[in-house]
Structure 1
Amino acid sequence: MMNQESMPIPRDFLCPITREVMQNPVVLIEDGHSYELFAIETWLRDHNSSPMTNQTLTDRRWIHNYNLKSAIEEYCSQQHAIASLNQFLAFNVCFGRIPSEWEDKPTLKIRISLLGGSNVGKSTIARYLQYGNKTNFIRLNTTTTVGHDLIFFYLDQLFENKYVIVVQLTDIPGMERYESCCDNHFRTCHGALLVADSTDIDTLERIELYWYKQLHLKGKDDVEPTLICNKSDLFQENCDDDYRRIFLANAEHFASLHSMAICYTSALRGDNIRAMFKQLILRILHSKTLLKQIKADDNVYDTASVHLSDRRSSSISSSQETNISKTSSTKCC
């Protein structure tokens, strides 16, 4: 889903008279060239010659060029799709309420899980995505996650010109005694951020031996994982050359072995956090299988919401009827 350049307009799609893309092309029978219908009709009112050859016409009839019209319509459709895609790729990830003008539009929910051990910086990553570079807030308010935290974002561009994209980010507790509560998040997430502390190589090993293995066994077949090597600021300042070389080699090998993206971040400074999050969202939306699942989940959610609403309405109606009946009985007495 990289930015795509517009295709050059084929010369045959341009009317020789108007020099614009034709919408209703016709072929002038005698000279064999195609023109925009209104343009050739206007020309023939004032001329008795071919616009292309300037030769006198003995036959002023024309016929519709349906093949050319179909080719032009396909080209315009492709151009519109490219323009829409390029506009969507400029999206920002926003935290807060969805704009009121989008309330009636269909919604697709992307579920992303933050996975990794304690003290690797998962919560700091989540807080940075929420509040940006307000580092004082992050430092004062980041604590060890005990239960999973849910944070919701939305994209400020419509997907496919109609869908509101909501992103549910789940910060999973990293302590071992809470690992049993993570199974549901393995099963339901579309993407995962596997976070290791780049100053502690044991956290990378834990990603390999537990978190990725559980995600692979219990998660969706096409879940999109990203390896996050966090605390790159401390990695550069406090780790010696030998440690850095070993850590980088192990991280690159693990990511390459499982064909996953790798990103080096500093959650405290905000290095690469938003870019990493945006790229994961794009990879999820680019996956045909995941996108199909997300759309199916959205339809199930909408249907369930309608049924729940119907049941509530029915319950309210029954309650109202009961109250009316009681009131009537009381009046009769």
Structure 2
Amino acid sequence: MTSQDTLSVPHDFICPITREIMQNPVLLIEDGHSYELYAIEHWLQSHNSSPITNKPLDDRRFVNNFNLKNAIQEYCTRQKTILSSNQFLTFNIRYSRVPIAWNNKPKLNIRLSLLGSSNTGKTTLSRYLQCGLQSNFVHTNSSVTIGPDLHFFYLDQLYDDQYVITIQLSDIPGMERFESCCDSHFRNCHGAFLITDSTDIDTLERIELHWYKQLQLKGKEHVESILVCNKIDIFEDNCDDNYRKIFLERAEYFASLHDMPICHTSALRGDNIQFMFKQLIIRILQNESLLQQIKENSSMYNKSLFRSEPISPTSSIQVLLKSSSRQNDYNSSSSGDCCLFA
């Protein structure tokens, strides 16, 4: 840690001579102050006074200050953890392959689901995450989802300085006749976006009466959720004050009742889409029980890859030989049959 980083460091952790945080603090017995070992040794080579009081020293001895050293080490470890966490929180969601340099790093796979009625904009939200600012193209080319669509992303920052975070996003069809194919996505997801159309209060009621209940019934015990009020651009322009008041009060009541955040988005303009994904991912990683499940599942998956039997390099030759042998047997049998019927 350099001098420019010492503004928030406790004063006792900084060497009075170097003005930097100490690594090997020693206590100068006579003046009662601690210094960096190499700094006080160099000082005493050319001075016979205290670096702080400038008074002559009768006793030039010093001893290791182990208590201070332990305190500094604990502080530096804590600061490193905070710095790492803050750096991770600047992550972006990427729609591409994981960098080759990360291929050998452990991976944590987070499964997210988009839940809600048809025409709430679920598909447009997921495609906006892929296409970014090309929202007009995405919006005009969206179609009704008739089966779970899967999209894969990764975070461009390592979690805990070691884990690659991959995201599997399931876009669940909102029409009732397709709901039977969604059970596995309820059971396996770690986080869910409960999508409503802000201009249609019936979609919020459907979240309350069906989607959230199904998630609680079939999903994981500690699954995280966010209530997403989509189409906020139309809501602001086309809905009257009375409707807006009723919708917002009902949405806030539902969210507070189930201890989940609300996110207002516009799939057309791209408002808050990156934010809502980041918020849910962070909530999942801060959920200790859920994070432990993710780590265990990822560990089991990685072990299963290592246990898989390698393909024998001669297997293709063996297959060809067996195929040739069968063909010869067939030819012999065929020629025999011809003789019988001759």
TM-score by length of 1: 0.90
Residues 239-291 of structure 1 show CA distances to partners (whole Å, capped at 9, x for unaligned) of 22222222112111111111111111111121111111111111111111121
Partner residue, 2:146: 146
Work out which of the two has the higher radius of gyration on C-alpha atoms and give 1 or 2.
2
Give the superposition deviation at 1:228: 0.9
Partner residue, 2:338: none
Answer yes or no: is 1:316 the counterpart of 2:309.
no
Residues 31-88 of structure 1 show CA distances to partners (whole Å, capped at 9, x for unaligned) of 2211111111111111222222333323222211111001111111122122212211
Partner residue, 2:74: 74
Kindly tell me: are residues 303 and 80 of structure 1, through their superposed partners in 2, closer, same or farther at Cα, counting changes over 3 Å?
same
Give the superposition deviation at 1:7: 7.8
Partner residue, 2:164: 164
Answer yes or no: is 1:205 the counterpart of 2:205.
yes
Give the distance between the partners of 1:58 and 1:7, measured in 2 at CA: 34
Preserved contact between residue 6 and residue 20 of structure 2 (Cα < 8 Å) = no
Partner residue, 2:325: none
Q: How many residues are treated as equivalent by the alignment?
A: 319
Partner residue, 2:87: 87
Give the distance between the partners of 1:46 and 1:320, measured in 2 at CA: 80
Amino acid at match of 2:230: N
Kindly tell me: are residues 71 and 295 of structure 1, through their superposed partners in 2, closer, same or farther at Cα, counting changes over 3 Å?
same
Answer yes or no: is 1:48 the counterpart of 2:44.
no
Partner residue, 1:266: 266
Partner residue, 1:247: 247
Amino acid at match of 1:34: S
Q: Secondary structure at the match of 2:226?
A: strand
What are structure 2's unaligned runs of at least 5 residues?
A: 323-342
Give the superposition deviation at 1:325: 10
Farther off after superposition, 81-90 or 164-173: 81-90
Residues 207-226 of structure 1 show CA distances to partners (whole Å, capped at 9, x for unaligned) of 11110001111111221101
Give the superposition deviation at 1:319: 3.2
Partner residue, 2:182: 182
Give the distance between the partners of 1:158 and 1:268, measured in 2 at CA: 31
Partner residue, 2:58: 58
Give the superposition deviation at 1:173: 0.9
Preserved contact between residue 113 and residue 169 of structure 2 (Cα < 8 Å) = yes
Give the distance between the partners of 2:218 and 2:7, measured in 1 at CA: 43
Give the superposition deviation at 1:131: 0.3
Give the superposition deviation at 1:322: 5.5
Preserved contact between residue 128 and residue 267 of structure 1 (Cα < 8 Å) = yes
Preserved contact between residue 230 and residue 266 of structure 1 (Cα < 8 Å) = yes
- Which runs of at least 4 in structure 1 moved beyond 4 Å after TM superposition? 320-326
Q: Secondary structure at the match of 2:229?
A: strand
Kindly tell me: are residues 237 and 87 of structure 1, through their superposed partners in 2, closer, same or farther at Cα, counting changes over 3 Å?
same
Q: Secondary structure at the match of 2:312?
A: helix
Give the superposition deviation at 1:127: 0.6
Partner residue, 2:278: 278
Kindly tell me: are residues 319 and 17 of structure 1, through their superposed partners in 2, closer, same or farther at Cα, counting changes over 3 Å?
same
Preserved contact between residue 199 and residue 234 of structure 1 (Cα < 8 Å) = yes
Q: Secondary structure at the match of 1:193?
A: strand
Give the superposition deviation at 1:321: 9.4
Give the distance between the partners of 1:186 and 1:276, measured in 2 at CA: 20
Q: Secondary structure at the match of 2:233?
A: helix
CA RMSD after TM alignment: 2.2
Preserved contact between residue 136 and residue 268 of structure 2 (Cα < 8 Å) = no
Kindly tell me: are residues 7 and 75 of structure 1, through their superposed partners in 2, closer, same or farther at Cα, counting changes over 3 Å?
farther
Partner residue, 2:196: 196
Q: Secondary structure at the match of 1:16?
A: coil
Give the distance between the partners of 2:73 and 2:126, measured in 1 at CA: 45
Farther off after superposition, 9-18 or 53-62: 53-62
Give the distance between the partners of 2:200 and 2:52, measured in 1 at CA: 75
Answer yes or no: is 1:289 the counterpart of 2:285.
no
TM-score by length of 2: 0.88
